[in-house]
Structure formats: C-alpha cells, structure tokens
Structure 1
Amino acid sequence: MQRRFDQLDDVWPAGLARRLGAMLYDAFLVAAIWILITVLHVAFVRYVLGMGAEEVGAGTPQRLTLQLLLLVGAFLFFAFSWMRGGMTLGMQAWRLRVQTRDGHSITLAQSLVRYVVAWLSLAAFGLGYLWVLFDTERRSWPDIVSGTRVVVLPKAKRGRK
C-alpha cells in the first residue's frame, strides 16, 4: 500500500550534486551487496554443485546466473528502500526522497522502471542524470519515465530544552 508523505509543501526538486552524492554513497552499499552475492554464488558452485576451484566462473551459465543475481540484488535493495520510506541510505544522508508527483511512496512497477532507466541513463554516459540541469522541474530520465520525482527534505528542527 502506498503511503502519503508529509512535509509536501517544504520540499523542493533535487539538483544534480545532491543526486550524485547519494549515488556515490549507494554505490558503496551496492558493492557490498554484490560482494555478498558473489561469495554466496561461489560457495554454492563449489560446495553444492561440487565444482573444482578451476571450474568456478568458467562456464557461460555461471557467469549469466551471477550477473542476473547481481542485477536482481541491486534492484531489491533499491525497490525495498524506495517503496518503504522513499529513500536509500545514501538518499537519507543527502536528505533526498523519491515520491510520486502527488507525494506518495512509489510502487513496485515504478521502482522497476526507475531501476531500468537508471542503468540506461548511466549507459548513455550519464546523460539521463545530466538532464536534471536542463529540465525545468529538475527531473532525470528515471523521474520522467516512472512518473516520480526526487525532492530535498528540509533540515530537521532541533528541539529546544
């Protein structure tokens, strides 16, 4: 079920620098996830399938399986984070949130579209993210195609004692 976010009047569209900062943080998290998936994959091939060390990674099925697992693992990380609270750990650090245009958490379908178009944006030499500099609403290709937007959250107010 989609949840409605608060502070909708206090947010503004995220610029390129904040997005890149959050992407860098998240890249470290995704790398850690990928290392874990790779270790589990190698352990499965070695100890469950009983292949020798020289056979690990030698066949096309092994490589394709690992690549698919890596893509799915990264997608699950992003989809869970975006659907649950609208932000990954990197986005939290930079006070960013992804949401629908009317301020709700995004759906699984929107997460999938964002994820696929994000890879295409990077494959196009980052043009999909540089698009933020030219779009009047500061939207990237993943934002445009998925019908979402990335916003900056205001700083938390500190309580007085």
Structure 2
Amino acid sequence: MTALVYDLLIVLAIMMVANMLGLLVTGGRLLDEQQHLRAWWFPLFEAACVGGYFVASWRRGGQTIGMRPWRIRLTTATGDTPSWPQLLVRLGVAAAPWLLLGLTQWVGLRLALWAVLVAWIVWYIPALIDPRRRAVHDIVAGTEIRSPP
C-alpha cells in the first residue's frame, strides 16, 4: 500500500500532463460554461495514460517507481514477467472500484468515495488469508507481488 502512495505522486504528474494536452487539443474548452466536460473522450484518455504507466512499468522490470524503494516486484506464480493480458486484467480488476464514482450523481460525492474505499478494502481482504498474500486483482490475473528474501 505504501508503494501506491509513492505512485500517487507519479499519477498526479501524469494527470497534469494529460490535462494540459486535453486543453491544448480542445483549445482550452475542455469544460463548458456550467463546468461540464465537453470532450467525451477525455476521461478515457486520462485512464489510458494512467493505466499505461502501470502496465508499462509492470511489463518493463515488474516495478513501478513506487515499488522500487520497497524492492517489490510483480511476477507470475513461477517468477516470470506477467503477460500483457495478465497485466491488463490486473489493471482492470484493480481499477474497477473507481467505477463506483459513477454513482456520484445519485448518492453524492462523499458517499461515492466511501463506496470506492469500501470496495478497495474488500479487494484486499483476501490478502489476509491467502498464503501468497494476493489481493483480488492478483488472484484474478494470476500475478503476485514478491519481495526480496
């Protein structure tokens, strides 16, 4: 979890660059007068940028920048580098709780954020009982986090 905090800084930088590109492409009109998103493609672009960071990092060396200080690495059960499909499945399942933010218009932002937090807690509960300490996204993708001996 601490590695995710480190990676949050990288994600913020990626989001700033993605927002700058979005503003350049739309001529500074990413939002309309009522502050509604005008570019339907922009959330998908942001997700692709952030997801690309994680998948590329895991594929190239098995580590994100946040994982390096802790010397942990993403591998398969046999210690190999995960395949592209495994990485995409892991990313999709790990990011699935973010979809709960879609509830915001019905339940409000505060409740939607709580729903995301509860979903992530549920996602990590299996790590407490799994002998290899795998969360839901690792179980589904067939991957695991390894630390040095």
- Residue 56 of structure 1, aligned match among 25, 30, 53: 30
- Aligned identity (percent) is 31
Q: Is it true that 1:24 corresponds to 2:30 in the alignment?
A: no
Distance 1:139 1:71 in 2: 24
Instruction: Between the two structures, name the one with larger relative contact order (CA 8 Å, sep ≥ 6).
Output: 1
In structure 2, relative to structure 1, the CA distance for the partners of 1:107 and 1:25 (3 Å cut) is same
**Shift of the alpha carbon at 1:134?**
2.3
Paired position in structure 2 for 1:37: 18
Distance 1:127 1:23 in 2: 17
TM-score by length of 1: 0.72
Unaligned runs of 5+ residues in structure 1 are 1-19, 47-52, 155-161
TM-score by length of 2: 0.78
Paired position in structure 2 for 1:73: 49
Contact 2:72 2:145 in 1 (8 A): yes
**Shift of the alpha carbon at 1:27?**
1.1
Task: Give the paired residue count.
Answer: 127
Distance 2:70 2:124 in 1: 16
**Shift of the alpha carbon at 1:66?**
1.3
Q: Which amino acid aligns with 1:23?
A: L
Once structures 1 and 2 are overlaid, which stretch shifts more, 130-139 or 77-86? 130-139
Contact 2:90 2:141 in 1 (8 A): yes
Q: Which residues of 2 match residues 134-145 of structure 1 at below 5 A?
A: 134-145=129-140
